[in-house]
Amino acid sequence: MPETVFDVDVDAPPEEQPSPIVNRWHPDVPPAATIEPGEKCRIECLDWTGNQVVNDDSANDIRDMRLDPNHHLSGPFRVEGAEPGDLLVVDILDLGPFPDNEWGFTGIFELDNGGGFLTDHFPNARKAIWDFDGVYTHSRHVPDVRFAGLSHPGILGTAPSHDLLEEWNEREQALIERGPEAETAVNHETREDQPPLALPPEPNEVLLGDMADDEVEEAAEKAARTIPPRENAGNCDIKNLSRGSRVYLPVFVEGANFITGDLHFSQGDGEITFCGAIEMAGFVDLKVDLIKNGMEKLDTDHAIFKPGNVEPQFSEYVVFEGYSVDEDGTQHYKNSTVGMRRACLDAIDYLKQFGYTGEQAYIILSTVPVESRIAGIVDLPNTCVTVSVPKEVFEFDIDPDELNGHSSDDRGEAANPS
Ligand code: ZN
């Protein structure tokens, strides 16, 4: 087993972990450990909420979630010899849940506390607990679904430089100031209570590893949230970054200061419920290396990904199509977000015919390895987005031919607030 360079305790609060948790991007967070290029290491991770969700049948914890301290991540790790301009090469050797903690969760957040991609349609908190049997998972809250997960870290990335951090903050603040009408892709109608367009630095509940208290106060004003993906990869949520994957990350600071976490047992493309994958605590085994001056050699200032070749096999799909016309009939111009939403809503309506509630179907799309693609983006005025649901994850046949005269079974419901 590789040497463990970061320990967590799933029974302790984030502030009392054996290794100090980090929940923001900032160049000056002191490294939690140093890794040598070519060396393997094991990194333990809390689930992204930092133990806020419990294995029970109530969605109160999702409803009442404190969002400011998320994500709870492991690192930063200083890579010996890494300098700005290099590329950090990260091999994902293995990952999984802890052997004595083989479960995960999926949540639908409340509209006014986090929301999600389809929050207009599903505004209330729900939860599903998933149990793991080796590579397989199933949920008492989503019966008759059982599948092999496609496990991956939702977040991995290098620390930004001070200049890059400033650039992030400026461009995201500019979007916030332009306001909702600047975006056609947010929701089909502009609501008073619409979720924010971006999340500016939030000094509340900041954890910056071992940084001295007097420094944290100043850094917290600028430290970037970990919610969006950016140049450093970050919260990319690429479901295929599983065992055997290799990621090339630009190095912006001395030592690279690599951070990872937000482990997913499985996820569908889009991670649409937002607490969207099967979220878990666990370990990830990595090997790192450096390409000196790699940003110039590969002519990139972004991350590059090479997914591995160990994935569950699905051969048959039912495919749903969405295009740039929203639910009230408004025609949008080449809007892929609207297309994705329509394809997801169609898939949810379809699965409801087999006895699932809308919330259960929403959770299924978010967790099973659903393939979503932009099928066409040149056919004015619509983009065509497809959402492909693997048939093999269901313990019954979801083929359209089976719907002919189908009488729906009762498949229970996801956990409600109690
Ligand atoms: Zn996640």
Task: Verify that 294 and 354 share a domain, yes or no.
Answer: no
Question: Quick check: is 72 in a domain?
Answer: yes
Distance 267 CA to ligand 1 centre (A): 9
* Strand 304-306 with 246-250, pairing: antiparallel
Inter-residue contact 279 to 137 (CB < 8 Å): no
Query: For the segment 63-74, what is each residue's pLDDT rounded down to a tens digit?
Result: 999 999 999 999
Which of the listed residues 250, 271, 306 is the one where a domain comes to its end? Answer: 306
Which of the listed residues 247, 279, 306 is the one where a domain comes to its end? Answer: 306
Q: Indicate if the pLDDT at residue 407 is higher than 80.
A: no
With cut-offs at 50, 70 and 90, classify the pLDDT of residue 317: very high
Query: For the segment 283-296, what is each residue's pLDDT rounded down to a tens digit?
Result: 999 999 999 999 99
Task: Verify that 354 and 300 share a domain, yes or no.
Answer: no
Question: Quick check: is 207 in a domain?
Answer: yes
Question: Quick check: is 187 in a domain?
Answer: yes
Task: Verify that 293 and 337 share a domain, yes or no.
Answer: no
104: β partners: 130
Task: Verify that 244 and 321 share a domain, yes or no.
Answer: no
With cut-offs at 50, 70 and 90, classify the pLDDT of residue 179: confident
Task: Verify that 155 and 297 share a domain, yes or no.
Answer: yes
> How far apart, in Å, are the Cα atoms of 410 and each of 121, 139, 353, 413?
21, 15, 10, 9
Distance 209 CA to ligand 1 centre (A): 20
Looking at residue 402, what is its pLDDT? 83
Integer Cα distance of 288 and 69 in angstroms: 28
Looking at residue 182, what is its pLDDT? 57
Distance 408 CA to ligand 1 centre (A): 32
Of the ranges 79-83, 130-134, 183-187, 200-204, which one carries the lowest mean pLDDT score?
183-187
Q: Indicate if the pLDDT at residue 185 is higher than 50.
A: no
Distance 280 CA to ligand 1 centre (A): 8
Query: For the segment 345-396, what is each residue's pLDDT rounded down to a tens digit?
Result: 999 999 999 999 999 999 999 999 999 999 999 999 999 999 999 999 999 9
The string over 317-337, giving b where at least 16 C-beta atoms fall within 10 Å of a residue's C-beta and e elsewhere, is bbebebbbbbeeeeebebbbb
Distance 263 CA to ligand 1 centre (A): 6
Inter-residue contact 301 to 108 (CB < 8 Å): no
Looking at residue 186, what is its pLDDT? 47
Q: Indicate if the pLDDT at residue 235 is higher than 60.
A: yes
179 burial level (CB within 10 Å; 0-12, 13-18, 19+): exposed
Task: Verify that 300 and 331 share a domain, yes or no.
Answer: no
- Select the more confidently predicted residue: 184 or 399: 399
Task: Verify that 354 and 293 share a domain, yes or no.
Answer: no
With cut-offs at 50, 70 and 90, classify the pLDDT of residue 409: confident
Looking at residue 71, what is its pLDDT? 96
Q: Would you state the structure tokens that stand for residue 318, as one six-digit string?
A: 């039912």
Looking at residue 410, what is its pLDDT? 86
Looking at residue 193, what is its pLDDT? 56
Q: Indicate if the pLDDT at residue 195 is higher than 90.
A: no
Distance 126 CA to ligand 1 centre (A): 16
Task: Verify that 289 and 327 share a domain, yes or no.
Answer: no
Average pLDDT, the chain: 94
Task: Verify that 390 and 295 share a domain, yes or no.
Answer: no
Distance 226 CA to ligand 1 centre (A): 11
Task: Verify that 299 and 322 share a domain, yes or no.
Answer: no
Q: Indicate if the pLDDT at residue 191 is higher than 90.
A: no
Task: Verify that 46 and 158 share a domain, yes or no.
Answer: yes
Looking at residue 183, what is its pLDDT? 54
Integer Cα distance of 207 and 195 in angstroms: 24
Average of per-residue pLDDT across 215-242: 97
Question: Quick check: is 232 in a domain?
Answer: yes
Query: For the segment 131-174, what is each residue's pLDDT rounded down to a tens digit?
Result: 999 999 999 999 999 999 999 999 999 999 999 999 999 999 99
Question: Quick check: is 312 in a domain?
Answer: no
Looking at residue 325, what is its pLDDT? 96
* Strand 87-96 with 73-79, pairing: unpaired
Number of domains in the chain: 2
Distance 400 CA to ligand 1 centre (A): 32
Which of the listed residues 306, 327, 361 is the one where a domain comes to its end? Answer: 306
Q: Indicate if the pLDDT at residue 242 is higher than 70.
A: yes
Residue 188: which CATH number?
2.60.120.580
Task: Verify that 21 and 105 share a domain, yes or no.
Answer: yes
Question: Quick check: is 169 in a domain?
Answer: yes
Structural domain span for residue 116: 3-306
Residue 366: which CATH number?
3.10.28
Looking at residue 181, what is its pLDDT? 63
Looking at residue 405, what is its pLDDT? 60
Distance 273 CA to ligand 1 centre (A): 10
Question: Quick check: is 219 in a domain?
Answer: yes
Looking at residue 188, what is its pLDDT? 44
Q: Indicate if the pLDDT at residue 187 is higher than 90.
A: no
Residues with CB under 5 A from ligand 1 (ion): 48, 154, 262, 277
Integer Cα distance of 282 and 223 in angstroms: 26
Question: Quick check: is 155 in a domain?
Answer: yes
